[in-house]
Amino acid sequence: MRRKSEETRQRILGAAYESFWRAGYTRTNVETIAERARMTKRTLYAYFRSKDDLLAAVLLSYGDLAAERLRHIGDRMPDDRDGMIESFFGQLAGWASTTPRWSGSGFTRLVIELADLPGHPARAIARRHKATLENWLAERLARVRVARAKQRAREILLLMEGAMVMMLIHNDRRYIEAAAGAARQLISLR
């Protein structure tokens, strides 16, 4: 048997990410991922024991990309409250507008799809990602002296997630504007 290579592993992860992102977890099969990666299922299984293991690896890899994206978002945010909110939701609107076939947060979609599997490892990874996002936002809000920054961060993330879901349901980007308006009101509360 040939030695495993990092290049092949990354090719599998890329194909799996694309497949899960486009079709979801349950509608994606290992055959499709192997085809997209231009390899046999046997080769894929030499790298990952199961579709669940592959999903966990994809989410861990995507988590690194999401952390990078957070740094980028933070770098572009001004240091004033209103500017921060405008930038946060503005960047969300930009992501939704410029991504072909935008479908919201992959972590959120996945947890919804796996709702009946509470012990699935992908749910724990998604939970950690969302907690990281919430803590990141709380730190940013605390820096600009928003009262009850942790609570406000949680509320703003609820607005963000809700805006993404409503945009997907109605195909209407104005939900982001509504969420940004509500977030501005939240940060002015004492």
Distance separating the N- and C-terminal Cα atoms of the chain: 64
Report the CATH number at residue 31: 1.10.10.60
Report the CATH number at residue 65: 1.10.357.10
- Judge if 33 and 68 occupy the same domain: no
- Judge if 38 and 124 occupy the same domain: no
Over residues 122-134, the mean pLDDT reads 88
- Judge if 1 and 91 occupy the same domain: no
Residues 6+ apart with CB under 8 A from 153: 134, 135, 137, 138, 141
- Judge if 73 and 58 occupy the same domain: yes
Instruction: Note the pLDDT tens digit of each residue in 109-121.
Output: 888 888 888 888 8
Angstrom CA distances, 10 to 17, 35, 57, 97, 162, stand at: 10, 15, 10, 28, 33
Over residues 13-18, the mean pLDDT reads 92
Among the candidates 48, 65, 80, a domain finishes at 48
- Judge if 160 and 75 occupy the same domain: yes
- Judge if 92 and 134 occupy the same domain: yes
Alpha carbon distance 156, 36 (integer Å): 37
- Judge if 7 and 23 occupy the same domain: yes
CB 57, CB 122: distance < 8 Å: no
pLDDT of residue 1: 41
- Judge if 37 and 76 occupy the same domain: no
- Judge if 38 and 117 occupy the same domain: no
Give the chain's domain count. 2
Q: Mutual orientation of helices 106-113 and 149-170 as an angle, nearest 10°?
A: 80
Boundaries of domain holding 80: 50-188
What does the DSSP assignment read for 119-157? Answer: T-HHHHHHHHHHHHHHHHHHHHHHHTT-TTHHHHHHHHH
- Judge if 103 and 37 occupy the same domain: no
Residues 6+ apart with CB under 8 A from 81: 141, 144, 146, 187, 188
Share of the chain above pLDDT 70, in %: 98
- Judge if 89 and 156 occupy the same domain: yes
- Judge if 162 and 105 occupy the same domain: yes
pLDDT grade, residue 24 (50/70/90)?
Answer: confident
Instruction: Note the pLDDT tens digit of each residue in 42-94.
Output: 999 999 999 999 998 998 888 787 888 888 898 999 999 999 999 999 999 98
* Number of helices (H), then strands (E), in the chain: 9, 0
More confident residue, 7 or 22: 7
